[in-house]
Amino acid sequence: MSRGCYPTVLVALLLVSAPIQSQTPTGADAATLEEVVVVGTRRGTESTSGLAIPVDILNAEQLGGRGDMLDMLTARVPSYNVNREPISDAATLVRPANLRGLPADSTLILVNGKRRHRGAVIGEFVSGINKGAQGVDIVPLIPIALQRVEVLRDGASAQYGSDAIAGVINFVLEDDPEVRRMQLQYGSTFVGDGDQVTASGAFGTRLGRDGFATISLELKDSAPTSRGSQDPQATYLIENGYTSVADPVVIWGSPEVKNDFKVLVNAAAEAGVGELYGFGGWSGRDVDGSFFYRNPNGRKGVFLGGDGNLLVADLTPDNDIACRTVPVVEGLAGPEALTAVIADPDCFVYNEWFPGGFTPRFGGEVADAFITGGWRGARGDLNYDFSLSAGRNEAVYRIRNTVNASYGPNTPTNFDLGAQVQFERVANADFTLPVDIGAASDLNVAFGAQYHEEVFEIVAGDTESWAPGGFEDQGFSVGSNGFQGFSADVAGRFSRDSYSAYLDLEVDATDAWLVSGALRYEQFSDFGSTANGKLASRFSFTDDFALRFAASTGFRAPSIGQSSLRRAATVVVDGQLAESLTLPPTNPVAMLKGGRQLQPEESVNLSLGAVFSLGPVDISLDWFRIAVDDRIALTQQSLNDRDRADLIAANIIGAETVTAVSFFVNDIETETTGADLVVDTGFDWAGGRANLTLAGNVTRTRVLERGATLSAAGARELEDALPDTRTALTFDYARGSWNGLVRINHYDDVYEHLFNCETCPITTDALTVVDAELSWSMSSTYALTLGIVNLLDKQPDEHQFAGVAGYLGADFPLNHPSGFNGGSYYLRLDATF
């Protein structure tokens, strides 16, 4: 849908909607409902104030305003970080995020308490700790569809299964049958690019006497941003008379996202002695971004041969007349020889098509769908919940303005590269039973079983995107340059299933002492079984002071995608573009370099916290330690001539020009320690009500052991790629029809490898960013909000490679959690009926 249609859609909705008296609880009742927590306990009526583990509750109003769901969570949860990921291949489509300093796939994502499927994208070329992670795509979970978000900051594999090493995030969908809410938002950056238009709405109705159904939707378009400068090698060409060079040749910024839609539904209704329920969603978005620049006198395999001269395709090799040699001297092709070759009908150079070089544009479509249905109820004291879920995430890749050089003049310039698909099916049977054991409360006995099927599929791309075209023997590279399509021999479906059972016990042993424990056994079809346990406790010394403790073991099973992926792409090595091949870890070439069958990561989590009040000030302080053995990482190893010959012998397409291979390996042991601090107080001030919240996180990771496949530079990136310290000080104020907010976000220094190049290290100094928002309730129906993200327009400082040839005009750190776009603003109209 075009951007101009959004205001029309919203106005139409406003006109046809009649005001309905809301029956949503207000005041104390609403506060109580917001505190009821689903994640971390199976008692069903617990509040965060009484839990043995730290859980943050964020309502929908706290999540609005900025970017997508990833950005919104980052603003509110200091231990949660997400990067921009420009020119990160597939990860530009689905950005990974981190909780407590661990990779994206170490956090379990739930929707209404049910496991959400993984995204199809594997982050091979992302920065830092997310390299190789296959996390969950949470962008389809829009704020207007949510009642709240619950963030469990503690290991929970014994309760919920694989992936919950860092914690669990549960997205609870709106269930108010009286909801009638619409929003229209426009935003842009201070520079004037990156325009973003969003129209969203949530609508509810009753099903029977006590049932409900809600539907929420969002339509959105996001224009790209550009924060780089001209590549010095392009400047050099322009200074020497090249007129067909774009400025800049590489766009460093947020990608363009269009046709972005999300639909979420949630429903429940009485059915005999129980309740039938269901929820699901459907979403899609098109993403388009820049790739690296191909210098017309320097890109090997397309423009340049191994002898340092231009690559010239001999179109009639059998006539014994050789094409003229075109020398490249000081980065410039000999003009006389180049003109002669272009004029020769029996010869071809890509300089004829792209005299100023070219920059591929990479992107694709992300489609996501999921559905859950179930039946829950009670028979006497026994509560039951049977459910079946299915979810599918698909990333379809495309690249344009590039070539398969081996096809010579017959190459297309636009390619369908194929797709990656993740499909999961989960069946759950969950039970709870209160048992009187003479303690201060009943012993809550929860038990259940789960079946989990996972399928990862690779879909082949256009033949021209991966196949040799006939000129590869003359030195031209094979495959669409920048991102080779998935070949027919790579395509396939890879699957596994698992069965698990758990027991979860929780009791108030006394009025002051809560004790809980959990055990979980899981059997996987591909690597065997695992058993994990958890023990947690909380002791209230007074009404205003309590200590809490938790210890658990956990695991993360390697994803099917990590065990199966094979593809080629362009990387940066020592400031030069090169071809890299990702292989399954059991491929013979990978095994010669240290690859082997992947095993699950194993973890031990410890946490100790205090919850207390000092008058009107509520404080929670939690220390944690997460030790991970056999941590899975993506390693990159250079190839020698013998390795390359082995790849060619194995019929690996395009192996002649590959300089490095990547594969996943269990090769690291790490220890992550840290602390979370939350200080919150509310008070009356100047005729209104104010609230002040300080949320801080300190997280440090150490690599305790590493194998030969992880370099010292790679180990440092695991340790320092996220800020050791993050804090957010938020001041909210409401008076009459006005509401205001100011948030000060502080990020400690960050280390990264520019373009994932280990010889290109950069360190970004600490940075403080200020956000502000002001809302005016014009009536009981309409409200207008003006928000500013990064009020002082702060950006990370330019790094030491800015303006240096070979570094493509990327002047700023690419993956600092604060971003590099600088300041932005948004204006939002809310309507509630």
Residues 310-339 have pLDDT tens digits of: 999 999 998 888 999 999 999 999 999 999
Helix ranges restricted to H, 415-467: none
Q: Is it the case that residue 710 has pLDDT exceeding 90?
A: no
In this prediction, residue 577 has a pLDDT band, given cuts at 50, 70 and 90, of low
Diameter over CA atoms, the chain? 98
d(CA 134, CA 107): 11
| Encoded amino acid at 441, one letter | S
Task: Give every CB contact of residue 413 below 8 A, 6+ residues apart in sequence.
Answer: 400, 401, 402, 403
SS3 1: coil
Q: Cα(145)–Cα(176) distance, rounded to whole angstroms?
A: 11
pLDDT averaged over the chain? 89
3-state secondary structure of 69: helix
Surface-to-core class of residue 770, CB atoms within 10 Å of its CB (0-12 exposed, 13-18 middle, 19+ buried):
middle
The token duo for 588 is: 């013979």
What confidence tens digit (pLDDT) does each residue in 212-269 have?
A: 999 999 999 999 999 999 999 999 999 999 999 999 999 998 999 999 999 999 999 9
Contact, 442 vs 434, CB < 8 A?
yes
- Using CA atoms, how far apart are residues 561 and 496, in angstroms rounded to an integer? 11
What are 822's two structure tokens?
A: 């600088």
Global confidence as pTM? 0.90
Token pair of 481 as six digits? 């340059």
Q: Look at strands 576-582 and 658-685 and give their pairing.
A: parallel
* Residues in the chain, total: 833
Read off the pLDDT of each residue in 711-738 and give the average, rounded to a whole number: 92
Locate all alpha helices (DSSP H) within 745-833, ordered by sequence.
none
Distances (CA, A) of 246 to 295, 353, 361, 493, 668: 12, 15, 13, 41, 43
Distance CA 46, CA 358 (A): 59
Residue 551: per-residue pLDDT: 97
pLDDT at 10: 37
Q: Which of 64, 128, 144 is nearest to 96 (CA)?
A: 128
* Residues 752 and 717: beta-carbon distance below 8 Å: yes
Q: Exposed/middle/buried for 816, CB within 10 Å: 0-12, 13-18, 19+?
A: buried
Structure tokens at 726: 């993050």
Is 560 or 70 the better-scoring residue by pLDDT? 560
Average the pLDDT over each of 90-104, 155-169, 682-696, 720-734 and give the range with the smallest value.
90-104
Phi/psi of residue 649, nearest 5 degrees:
-65, -30
CB-CB neighbours of 800 under 10 Å: 13
Distance CA 216, CA 380 (A): 36
Contact 311, 263 (CB under 8 A): no
The backbone torsions φ and ψ at residue 312, rounded to the nearest 5 degrees and listed phi first, read: -120, 120
CA torsion sign for 32, 35, 38, 41 is negative
How far apart are the C-alpha atoms of 322 and 333, rounded to whole Å?
19
The neighbouring-strand residues paired with 206 are 212
- Which comes out higher in pLDDT, residue 436 or 60? 436
Contact 41, 51 (CB under 8 A): yes
Q: What is the DSSP string of 629-676?
A: EEEEEEEEEE--HHHHHHHHHTT-TTGGGEEEEEEEEEEEEEEEEEEE
626 pLDDT exceeds 60?
yes
Higher pLDDT, 171 or 655: 171
Q: Give the C-alpha separation, 272 to 204, whole Å.
A: 23
DSSP 102: B
